[in-house]
A = this chain, B = another copy of it.
Amino acid sequence: MTEHNQVTVGAAELGDLATRLSPGALTTDPDVIAAHATDEALFCPHEGSIALVRATSAGDVQEVMRFASAHRIPVVPQGARSGISGGANGSPGAILLNVSRMTDVLSINEAERLVTVQPGIINQDLKDHLAPFGLSYPPDPGSVALSSIGGNIATNAGGLCCVKYGVTRDYVRSLQVVLADGTLTTLGPQTAKGVAGLDMRHLFIGSEGTLGIVVEATLRLIPALPDPFTAVATFPDERTGLQTVADFMAAGGVPSILEFLDSSSLKMLNEFGDFGLDADAGSMLIMQVDQNPADSEAVMAKFAEVAESCGALDVAYSDDPADSAALIAARRMIQPAYEKFANAHGGGQLLDDVCLPRTAVPEFCDRLGELRESSGLVISLVAHAGDGNTHPSVFFDASDADQTAKAEGVFAEIMRIGLELGGTITGEHGVGYLKRDWLQHELDEGSRRIQLAVKNALDPLGILNPGKMLSAI
């Protein structure tokens, strides 16, 4: 990485910047800065930022980047700060550049099935806004109610529906971004197809604020999704549940959601609330399909057949939208349930995000079992199983240094096993601070070199979100 040769800026320079921004956008109040210096990640540094700018326009973002380039000081782009890899955490000497006040829906074009939004709009708010138009924006990260579209684009966020509908990338038509020097540029055409030059739009998606800052996004929509059918199957153990996933997908299944919960997760969910789940099952699958009723019935029957042949304890399904909504709501309660468990056991939880070839998940699950035995720690597992995207959580007593160190070791070992089994260290959460030391183990020498070359070409002063993603490769 290019080392930035930081110039000290003081109150005078920041005061001058403030006059060029929307009124009240900039603050240097240490308490306010501290309150905005972290996302939801644990164990990531976040201190030392010198100012917070709450931008309300692209012009504010441009002014900050011009200032930062002139003074060679780092900028940390932020949205809702709901990420869990520390990508939005503060850095020494940095300006926190927060776009969460830029929440407007700028236009909806029903004929083209497009919506243009500012980056700070919350994913669920966008979905709600679109519903009356009979249009849907599918990407649905677990943080759908908290996370912003700009952050979703910065991390190429996934979610539950990816197994059928894909990830954020698949719905970005064009972006307006502010580059490191403050230049505003449009990436990608407004048209359904377009191959004019290198695809900078796709380069910026998932770049975690290291190449520029999204200030406007035009998103592709699809007709409103039909009400789904939802099946729940319980199994005596994890293997049989995961085998059902592999067999069902190999049989041509096209679910819109296919989620796996292990026995620890089921127990924690049941301790968190009464969702009517079988707390004694060894694992559970939630499967949705959203085709027409006749087709959905047929898929449900196929799923039941596969599950039973794998040894399911019970399979039930429903075409009642209320049942479907309740089941998915229960699934989305998994993180609060984990937190309740963690808080009762010393407060520590490390959430991992290893995506594997679908067929490698059973082996991965066995390896987690070995880690449980060797470490003595509680390790739970939920997975977007249709995609092979697993989320193991390691629980520990955060007040116990030995246990904390052991948990961090287990967290790393989970990534190592993921790579060994042909997977990636991060399926959808991003690298940020949390996994920066691990990225070098996933990428080969050529990839590392060209990633750094691209980063240096677009951010020659190294001021965009330094110390994150590519900083340790």
Interface of A toward B, CB cutoff 8 Å: 110-113, 134, 155-156, 158, 162-163, 166-167, 169-170, 179, 183-187, 189-200, 202-203, 205-207, 210-211, 222-223, 246, 249-250, 252, 254, 291-292, 294-295, 355-359, 384, 387-389, 422-431, 435, 439, 442-447, 449-451, 453-458, 469-470, 473
Contact B162 A193 (CB under 8 A): yes
Contact A246 B111 (CB under 8 A): yes
Contact B355 A111 (CB under 8 A): no
Contact of A197 among B112, B163, B195, B443 (CB under 8 A): B443
Contact of A112 among B112, B203, B357, B458 (CB under 8 A): B357
Interchain Cβ contacts under 8 Å between A and B, 10 examples: A111-B358, A134-B252, A179-B450, A189-B355, A189-B423, A192-B388, A193-B427, A196-B435, A197-B451, A199-B205
Q: Which residues of B contact A294 (CB under 8 A)?
A: 292, 294
Contact of A451 among B194, B198, B431 (CB under 8 A): B198
Q: What is the bound-complex CA distance between A9 and B358, given in angstroms?
A: 50
Q: What is the bound-complex CA distance between A359 and B191, given in angstroms?
A: 10
Nearest B residue (CB) for A460: B453
Contact of A453 among B110, B384, B457 (CB under 8 A): B457
4 nearest A-B pairs in the assembled complex, by CB-CB distance? A185-B446, A202-B202, A453-B457, A457-B457
Contact A250 B111 (CB under 8 A): yes
Contact of A203 among B162, B199, B435 (CB under 8 A): B199
Q: Which residues of B contact A184 (CB under 8 A)?
A: 446
Contact A206 B200 (CB under 8 A): no
Q: Which residues of B contact A110 (CB under 8 A)?
A: 250
Contact of A428 among B166, B195, B430, B455 (CB under 8 A): B195
Q: What is the bound-complex CA distance between A195 and B469, given in angstroms?
A: 10
Question: How distant is A420 from chain B, measured CB to nearest CB, in Å?
Answer: 13
Contact A358 B207 (CB under 8 A): no
Q: Which residues of B contact A359 (CB under 8 A)?
A: 111-112
Contact A156 B445 (CB under 8 A): no
Contact of A185 among B206, B422, B450, B456 (CB under 8 A): B450
Question: How distant is A416 from chain B, measured CB to nearest CB, in Å?
Answer: 14
Contact B203 A203 (CB under 8 A): yes
Contact A473 B424 (CB under 8 A): no
Contact B446 A454 (CB under 8 A): no
Q: Which residues of B contact A455 (CB under 8 A)?
A: 198
Question: How distant is A288 from chain B, measured CB to nearest CB, in Å?
Answer: 17
Contact of A456 among B194, B428, B457 (CB under 8 A): B457
Contact A355 B451 (CB under 8 A): no
Nearest B residue (CB) for A448: B197
Question: How distant is A25 from chain B, measured CB to nearest CB, in Å?
Answer: 23
Having A111-B246, A191-B424, A194-B426, one finds 9 other A-B pairs with CB under 8 Å, namely A111-B249, A111-B358, A163-B192, A185-B450, A191-B427, A193-B355, A193-B428, A197-B473, A199-B203
Contact B447 A193 (CB under 8 A): no
Question: How distant is A135 from chain B, measured CB to nearest CB, in Å?
Answer: 9
Q: Which residues of B contact A384 (CB under 8 A)?
A: 193
Question: How distant is A70 from chain B, measured CB to nearest CB, in Å?
Answer: 18
Q: Which residues of B contact A469 (CB under 8 A)?
A: 197-198
